[in-house]
Structure 1
């Protein structure tokens, strides 16, 4: 079973305004409301691809109810913890001459709430996968990912981590099966400028030396580089298409990689599936569907 965790999900309120003006009345041209959160995105895409999974995390208030409603409408199996106080955050994304984001802080997560999450995670077994992705809310310890992984390591649970900088670096000692930084995040982790594929491979290997098994570095329109646990680095280009929405593309790549690997334990097949699935979301207004992914797979060598 694959499990995803979204500690601080959101309702993403996306509005488009023609030439936004400060201190003036502005009327929207377009409005969209989506359930947001990297783990939620992974769960939705896995479900779209026909892979059984369960979404875990926290929700609160009327916004939490709407998040659950939307996620369940995607036929995702949810097991979120409902908090008694506060509301799940609302993130505002304003598209006008430029793009502005205002992210909410989310509800407070107490020690008892954390114990409830650990109780749910205690039922994971050998061979299960746990996807830890995204930032963490300020009300939980900054080593929460470490605490989760240390408790499950001896059970034989496989970890997939998609996080930035210290949040990722500190969990490499638990030997995650798969991590997916992008090239900007990789450069930030080591405070360097990456000028070539060789540079990306060099620092990707450092992540392996620190404990990661399979490292996939995404590079947007320039494709991606995979450093497999066993074997030489592999680079793949992205299929042709028109970029419509980059939000969720990285999460879709994670879902596609997992789906591809589970088919026959082939890491190259996983890489190919990850590229196709990430691209399918990037070329669509919503998250990738199985049909879109299959169409792109036909293009790829």
Structure 2
């Protein structure tokens, strides 16, 4: 079974305007409300591709009710820790001349709630996959990723980590199965600006030297690069298409990669191409990738 953890789920209020003017009344031409958060996105795309997962994390209040209702509608299995106070955050994604995001802060998460999540994670065992994705809310300890991975270490659980800088670097000692930085995040980890594929590969190898098994680097319109644990690396161009919505594209790539692992008996090259196609399918759509969209794009890069 695949499990995803989203520490700070959200309702994403997505709106479009022809033009945005600060300090004035702006009227939208399109609006949509979606359950969001990186792990939740992974679970939704896995469902769209025909694979079951369970979404874990914390929810609260009326917004938490709506997050659960939307997942039930797919349906996507979930087993959230329900917080007694506050409400799950609302993130505003405004798209006009430029994209602007305003992200809420989310509810307080008590020590007791953290222990409840740990108890759910303790049920995982050999053969399960766990996806840890996204930022950590201010009421959780900075080392929550490390605590989870230390707790599960040695159980034969495949762990995927999609996080920024220190969050990612600090867990490499637990040898995650897959990490997915983008090229800018990879450069930031080492204080350099990466401009060529060769430089990206060089620094991705440094993450492997620190403990990562497989490193998947997304590069937006320039495609992606995968370095595998057995020393191989692959590059794929991005499929051609019109960028509609970049939110969730990286999470979709992770879901596509895991789908490829399931469907191609851990052939990581096939998983890589399916990941690239899935990430692009989400970027080219108002909603997250569907199977027909992914298969159509996969033909263009294979």
Give the structure-1-normalised TM-score.
Answer: 0.97
Residue 18 of structure 1 deviates from its aligned partner by 4.1
Tell me: CA distance 1:241–1:99, structure 2 relative to 1, closer, same or farther (3 Å): closer
- Superposition pairs of residues 245-264 of structure 1, within 5 angstroms: 245-263=245-263, 264=265
1:265 match: secondary structure: coil
1:270 maps to what in 2?
A: 271
More moved, 45-54 vs 230-239: 230-239
2:225 match: secondary structure: strand
2:69 maps to what in 1?
A: 69
| Matches of 1:219 and 1:27, distance apart in 2 | 33
2:295 maps to what in 1?
A: 294
| Matches of 2:19 and 2:272, distance apart in 1 | 41
- Superposition pairs of residues 202-217 of structure 1, within 5 angstroms: 202-217=202-217
1:120 maps to what in 2?
A: 120
- Superposition pairs of residues 158-237 of structure 1, within 5 angstroms: 158-237=158-237
Residue 241 of structure 1 deviates from its aligned partner by 1.8
More moved, 236-245 vs 57-66: 236-245
Structure 2: gaps spanning 5 or more residues: none
More moved, 170-179 vs 65-74: 65-74
Residue 29 of structure 1 deviates from its aligned partner by 2.2
Residue 232 of structure 1 deviates from its aligned partner by 2.2
1:50 maps to what in 2?
A: 50
1:161 match: secondary structure: strand
Tell me: CA distance 1:277–1:97, structure 2 relative to 1, closer, same or farther (3 Å): closer
CA RMSD of aligned residues (A): 1.2
Residue 153 of structure 1 deviates from its aligned partner by 0.8
Q: 2:5, 2:57 within 8 Å by CA — same for their partners in 1?
A: yes
Q: 2:228, 2:268 within 8 Å by CA — same for their partners in 1?
A: yes
Residue 242 of structure 1 deviates from its aligned partner by 1.8
Structure 1: gaps spanning 5 or more residues: none
Residue 298 of structure 1 deviates from its aligned partner by 2.0
Summarize deviations over 1:146-170 as a string: whole Å, max 9, x none. Answer: 0001000121111000000000000
Give the structure-2-normalised TM-score.
Answer: 0.97
Q: 2:227, 2:233 within 8 Å by CA — same for their partners in 1?
A: yes
| Matches of 1:142 and 1:275, distance apart in 2 | 31
Q: 2:56, 2:80 within 8 Å by CA — same for their partners in 1?
A: yes
| Matches of 1:298 and 1:26, distance apart in 2 | 41
1:32 maps to what in 2?
A: 32
User: Is 1:243 aligned with 2:243?
Assistant: yes
Residue 31 of structure 1 deviates from its aligned partner by 1.4
Summarize deviations over 1:267-300 as a string: whole Å, max 9, x none. Answer: 1111111111111111111111111111122222
More moved, 282-291 vs 159-168: 282-291
Tell me: CA distance 1:110–1:197, structure 2 relative to 1, closer, same or farther (3 Å): same
| Matches of 1:49 and 1:23, distance apart in 2 | 43
Residue 237 of structure 1 deviates from its aligned partner by 1.1
Between the two proteins, the alignment pairs up a number of residues equal to: 301
1:56 match: secondary structure: strand
2:39 match: secondary structure: helix
More moved, 10-19 vs 32-41: 10-19
